[in-house]
Chain A
C-alpha cells in the first residue's frame, strides 16, 4: 500500500514479463531479471497491509482481486521469495520465453492467493496451468510436446471440475466469495471444488501429471513448477476446505504413495517429484485436521517445502545442466567434480528429512503433533513412517547414488561434470541459507503463520522430540546401509496412474480405428448390397429402356428425317445449275416455237 494504492504483486510479474522482450541483452537484462521479482517480493513483504483491495464490478458480479489477510500474506511472501530465487537460478537462460512463462505462472499463483472470489480464482487457476506448460515444452525433447499436452489436458479437466463446482455452489448459496465451504456437510458442489483443488495438490489417483511433467520440465522450469502449483492448491484447501475429514486419509495415502514410488525410481528428478506428492500429503492431512495448529503446520510446511524442494530441484537440476544426465544408472561418484552442488543438495535433503536445525524439523513436526493432539494416532504414526521414507530417499538415496556409490558415468559425462555457473550457485546458496535459518530461528516463520499465538506455544526443540527424531533418522540410515544392495538403481520406469490416460488415449484411437471404422465399412458394404445393387439393376433397365425404347423412337424419327433429307439431297443437291439449264432450255424451246409460228 502506498497511500490508498494497492499494487497486485501478480500485476508486477505480468508487466515485468511483458516488458522483458524489450530489454537489451547484457548486464541490464540480468538486473531487470532480479529487480522484477524482487519488486513483487518487496510489494508483499513491506508495502502490503491487511484489507480488501482491487474490487471491481464485472457484469453482475463483484470481483475481488486483493483480499489480504494473514493466510494470503504468508503464501504471497514465500511465492514471491521463491520467484526471486528461481529467477536468479535460471538467469543464464537466454531465451526470454522461459522467463516470461515462469513469471506468468507466478502471477497465476499470486492471483489465486489474493483472490477474494471464485471467478478470480478460476481465472488465475487456469493462467497457472497454461503458463507452466510452456516450461515443459521449452525442454524441446522428443517427448516434451506430448508430455506438455498430457499435463494441460489433466489440468483442464481439473479446471472444469472446479468450474462445475463453482457454478453449483453459486446456484446453492448465491455467493461466489472464496471462503470456507460447508466442510461438515459437503454437497456435490463442495466436493467438486475440493476435487478441483486436490487435483492440483496431486492427490492420488489424480497425481500422475506431477512426476510426468516435473521430470520433463527444463532445469529452471522444474524449480518453479515444484513450488507453485501444489502449494497454491494447499493455500486453496486451507482457505476453503480446512477440516474436511476426507483429506486426512487422502493426505496419509499421498505421503506413503510418494515414498513407495520413490524407492522404485531411477531418475533423480522424478524421485524428487514423487517426494513432492509425499510431502504435500502432510499439508493435505493438516488441512483435513483443520485445527489451528494443523493449519499452522500445513502452512509452515508449505513455506519450508517450497524452499527445500526448490533447493533439491536446483541441486539435481545443476547436475542435469552440467552433465545432461539425471538417472542414477548414468551418474555416481561425482563428489570430487561437483562438491558445491552436493553440499547444497544435502542441505535440501536434511531439511526435507526434518533434521534438527533444518527447516523441515520445525514445520513437519507441527502437522504430526496436530495429528497426535487430535488423537488421530494412525495418521500420526503413518506420517512418521513416511518421514523415515523421506530421509531414506531424499537424504540418502539421491546424494549417495549421484555423488557417491558406483560410478556409472560415461567418459563424456565425467568430463562435463563440474560445479554449475555462479548464478545457479547464488540461487542455491540463498535457498540453503533460508533452510538453515528457518530451522535455527523459529520465530521468523512462526510469526508469519495464520495463528501466531498458537505457533508461539509450539516448541519443536524439546528433549523428547529431539530424541525421537534422531532415533528415527539414524536408524533409518542404518536400514539404508544394511539394505544397500536392495536399493541399487534399476534402469526402469514405473507404471503409474498416467497409464490409464496414456493407454486410454490409445484405446480411444483403437476404438476409432477398429470398431467404429469397421462398423462404418460394414454399413457401406451393406449399403452396397442392399441399396446400390438393386439401384444399379433398376438403372440398368432404365438405361436399356432409354436406349432401346425412347431412344429407338427418337432415333427412328431422326433416322427417317435423315433418310428423307438425303433423298431430298439426291433430288436437288448440287444440281441447281443443271436444273436451271434444263428449265432455261425448255423456256427457250417454247419461245422458239412461238417465233416460228
Chain B
C-alpha cells in the first residue's frame, strides 16, 4: 500500500512539484494575516521573514559545510578525506 502510494506520486512528479510551489506561495501569503503579537523582534513582522530565513539557512549550511569539508587547510589536508585515512 505504501509502495503504491509512493509510486502514485512519483508517476505524477510534475504535478506534485507544482503543488509544492503553490504550497510555498500560500505559506508566505498566509503569513501576512497571522497574529504576530508573540513575535519578539521587529524583523519577524515582515511577512515571509521565516521563509527567507529558512531558505537562507539551508543554503548557507550546505555551502559553508561543503566549503569547510573540501577546502585545503593550511594548503595540505581537507576535512573530508579518504575512508582508510586512519588505517595506514
B35 touches A464 (CB 8 A): yes
A388/B58 in contact, CB under 8 A: yes
Give the dominant DSSP class at B's interface. Answer: helix
20 new A-B pairs (CB below 8 Å) besides A465-B38, A474-B23? A259-B61, A261-B65, A263-B61, A336-B3, A340-B2, A342-B2, A385-B53, A388-B54, A464-B38, A464-B39, A471-B48, A475-B52, A476-B57, A476-B58, A478-B24, A483-B59, A483-B62, A492-B69, A492-B82, A495-B80
Contact status B57-A389, CB under 8 Å: yes
Given contacts A464-B34, A472-B54, A493-B83, contact A392 B3 (CB under 8 A): no
Binary interface profile of A, 263-300, with partner B (CB < 8 Å = 1, else 0)?
11000000000000000000000000000000000000
Give the chain B neighbours of A336 by CB distance below 8 A: 3
B36 touches A (CB below 8 Å):
yes
Contact (Cβ within 8 A) B35 A475: no
Quick check: is A467 within 8 A (CB to CB) of the other chain?
Answer: yes
In the complex, chain A residues whose CB is within 8 Å of the CB of B60: 385
Complex partner residue of A475 from B44, B54, B62, CB under 8 angstroms: B54
Select the residue from A375, A388, A392, A462 with max chain B CB neighbours within 10 A. Answer: A388
Kindly list chain B residues whose C-beta atoms are within 8 Å of the C-beta of A375.
Answer: 40
The interface bits of chain B over 42-60 (1 if a CB of A lies within 8 angstroms of the residue's CB, else 0) are 0010001011111101111
A463 interface residue, CB < 8 Å from B?
yes
B69 partner residues in chain A, CB cutoff 8 A: 263-264, 492, 494
Chosen A-B contacts, 24 in total, with CB atoms closer than 8 Å, are: A259-B61, A260-B65, A339-B2, A343-B2, A375-B40, A377-B40, A377-B41, A381-B53, A384-B53, A388-B57, A464-B34, A464-B36, A471-B27, A471-B50, A474-B54, A476-B54, A476-B55, A480-B58, A490-B80, A491-B83, A492-B82, A492-B83, A494-B79, A494-B81
What residues of chain B lie closer than 8 Å to A264, measured between beta carbons?
Answer: 65-66, 68-69, 79-80
CA distance A339 to B57 in the complex (A): 31
Q: Does A487 contact B (CB under 8 A)?
A: yes
Q: What residues on B are CB-neighbors of A492 within 8 Å?
A: 69, 80-83
Contact B58 A479 (CB under 8 A): yes
Is A184 an interface residue, CB under 8 A from the partner?
Answer: no
The A-contacting residues of B in range 1-49, CB under 8 angstroms, are 2-3, 6, 20, 23-24, 27-28, 30-31, 34-36, 38-41, 44, 48
Complex Cα gap A463–B3 (Å): 34
B65 — nearest CB in chain A belongs to which residue? A263
On chain B, the residues within 8 Å of A465 by CB distance are: 38
Which residues of chain A from 433 to 485 have any CB-CB distance to chain B below 8 Å in the complex? 462-465, 467-480, 483
Chain A residues with CB under 8 A of B57: 384-385, 388-389, 472, 476
Q: Return chain A residues, CB-CB under 8 Å to B80.
A: 264, 490, 492-495
Closest to B41 in A: A377
A335 with B24, Cβ < 8 A, contacts A473-B54, A492-B82 known: no
Contacting residues, chain B, for A339 (C-beta < 8 A): 2-3, 6
In the assembled complex, which residues on chain B have CB atoms less than 8 Å from the CB atom of A581?
none
Cβ-based interface call for A16 (8 A)? no
Of A469, A475, A490, A494, the contact of B55 (CB 8 Å cutoff): A475
Chain B residues contacting A392 (CB-CB under 8 Å) are 58, 61-62
User: In the complex, which residues of chain B have a beta carbon less than 8 angstroms from the beta carbon of A473?
Assistant: 54
Question: Distance in Å from the Cβ of A476 to the closest Cβ of chain B?
Answer: 4
A380 in contact (CB, < 8 A): yes
**Any B CB within 8 A of the CB of A533:** no
Which chain A residues border B54 with CB–CB below 8 Å? 388, 471-476, 479
Nearest chain B residue, comparing its CB with the CB of A146? B86
Q: Is the CB of B38 within 8 A of A474?
A: no
CA distance A473 to B54 in the complex (A): 7
Task: Please give, as numbers and ranges, the residues of chain B lying within 8 Å of A342 by CB-CB distance.
Answer: 2
Asked if A502 is at the interface (CB within 8 A of a chain B CB), the reply is: yes
Instruction: Please tell me if the beta carbons of B50 and A467 are within 8 angstroms of each other in the complex.
Output: yes
Nearest CB in chain A: distance from B5 CB, A: 9
Q: Once bound together, how far apart are the Cα atoms of A347 and B68, in whole Å?
A: 30
Does A541 have its Cβ within 8 Å of any Cβ on chain B?
no
Q: How far is the CA of A442 from the CA of B2 in the complex (A)?
A: 28
> Out of B31, B55, B62, B85, which one reaches A467, CB within 8 Å?
B31
B2's closest neighbor in chain A, by CB? Answer: A339
